[in-house]
């Protein structure tokens, strides 16, 4: 890197960028050390009795999910559609089916105000998160807890 200061003088001035490089190195090291490369998102869940969950209009279908300790999730439908189905928590295809079932109900123009989700006491949070993950696409508020 050089700059010519006037054609008459013929003197070449070199810009010393070594201190700039030093500053950059320190800054980059600091930023790399403090940077987090994990992208964190969230699953939106409501607690019982909140405005999002306590809809005044009676829903056509009530959806109740129960995650059990044997790695299964039970979906109970009440109202205009009824029945009980079981899905494996560890099978992504089964969870897609669960999500598809809710989409199907919505597609039939039946109202679903909320999905009530409960679990057995010894179910690890990881299994709950798998079910929550599959429900996020349906855009139906998930209410967690049977208290």
Partner 1 sequence: MQKVRRLFQKKKKHETGEMSLQITSMADIFTILLVFLLKGLASDAIQIAPANATTLPAGLHSQPIPETALQIEITKLDLLVEKEKIIALADLHKGMKNDELVPSLTERLMKERERQKLIAQANDSVKIDNKVIVLADQNVPYSTIKPILKTLAAQGYSEVKFAAIKE
**Residues at the interface with partner 1 (CB under 8 A):** 1, 10, 17-18, 20-21, 24-25, 27-28, 31-32, 34-36, 38-52, 67, 119-126, 128-130, 132-134, 136-137, 144-145, 147
Shortest Cβ 124–partner 1 spacing (Å)? 5
Q: 72-79 and 83-88 as β-strands: parallel, antiparallel, unpaired?
A: antiparallel
Helix (H, G, I), strand (E, B) or coil at 94: helix
- 29-44 exposure pattern, b = at least 16 Cβ within 10 A, e = fewer: eeeeeeeeeeeeeeee
Shortest Cβ 103–partner 1 spacing (Å)? 13
Strand order of the β-sheet with 72-79 is 83-88, 72-79, 61-67, 115-119, 142-144
Shortest Cβ 35–partner 1 spacing (Å)? 6
Query: In this complex, which beta carbon is closest to partner 1, that of residue 60 or of residue 74?
Result: 74
Shortest Cβ 40–partner 1 spacing (Å)? 5
- What's the token pair of residue 136? 């996020």
Query: In this complex, which beta carbon is closest to partner 1, that of residue 24 or of residue 86?
Result: 24
């Amino acid at each position: 890197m050089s700059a010519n200061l006037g054609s008459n003088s013929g003197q070449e001035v070199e810009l010393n960028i070594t201190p700039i490089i030093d500053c950059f190195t320190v800054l980059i090291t600091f930023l790399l050390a403090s940077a987090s490369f994990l992208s964190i998102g969230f699953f939106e869940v409501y607690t019982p009795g909140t405005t999002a969950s306590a809809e005044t209009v009676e829903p056509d279908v009530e959806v109740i999910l129960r995650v059990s300790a044997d790695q299964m999730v039970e979906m109970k439908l009440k109202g205009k559609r009824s029945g009980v189905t079981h899905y494996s928590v560890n099978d992504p295809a089964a969870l897609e089916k669960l999500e598809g079932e809710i989409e199907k109900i919505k597609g039939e123009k039946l109202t679903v105000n909320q999905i009530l989700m409960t679990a057995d006491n010894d179910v690890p949070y990881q299994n709950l998160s798998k079910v929550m993950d599959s429900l996020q696409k349906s855009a139906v508020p998930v209410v967690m807890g049977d208290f």
